[in-house]
Structure 1
């Protein structure tokens, strides 16, 4: 894999990051937070969500600029993130949380698009 920019993949990943942030925040605000996110006060949780989303967006920016090794790092982290999104979507289907699930479904679709655009041959 070369260190070439992937601007369209970056847009998909940034969209997935925004959907994840909004979905996680919506889950926290609607009271369907996990045991970990429910244990901290709301301002701290929002700050932690923003830091995680910012770090993810920074990694995506590395792919956008063509930084060597950023694609591989994003590929590994993105695969783990997709697994987490699927697990959370199953939980949302069981509990019937449509708002949280809707944002996470959009994040899953955009993450898939990011993978396809990032690793497709040019």
Structure 2
């Protein structure tokens, strides 16, 4: 996987983490994130972002099976980002949605760069 694809995926991960954290801090809570205290939510968000970043690193290094796993996890992440963006547009929460839009753009770039022919 090219370095540029890894940077795009890491950028998407950072935007997702910051958007989720900003949403949690500003009161944008779902049934799942609203049920846990803030420190626990931040820890869970950090673990998820770290696991995805490690998956990108493994795909970058050529670990067998990491590339397809990244494609599946990235695809599920894109679906989640689209659902979140629709909710943000309906709720007119453009600050939270802006970071998720940036994550969606970076994810699209990550897919494009990951699967382009060399």
- Identify whether the pair has TM-score above 0.5, normalized to the shorter chain: yes
- 1:15–1:110: 8 Å Cα contact kept in structure 2? yes
RMSD: 0.7
Aligned twin of 1:102: 98
Structure 2, unmatched stretches of 5+, are none
Aligned twin of 2:116: 120
CA distance in 2, matches of 1:31, 1:64: 36
CA-CA distance at 1:85 after TM superposition: 0.3
Aligned twin of 2:15: 19
1:67 aligns with 2:55: no
CA-CA distance at 1:101 after TM superposition: 0.1
**1:7-47 deviation digits (Å, cap 9, x = unpaired):** 11100000000000000000000101111001100000000
Q: How many residues align?
A: 118
TM-score w.r.t. length of structure 1: 0.94
Aligned twin of 1:41: 37
CA distance in 1, matches of 2:7, 2:28: 29
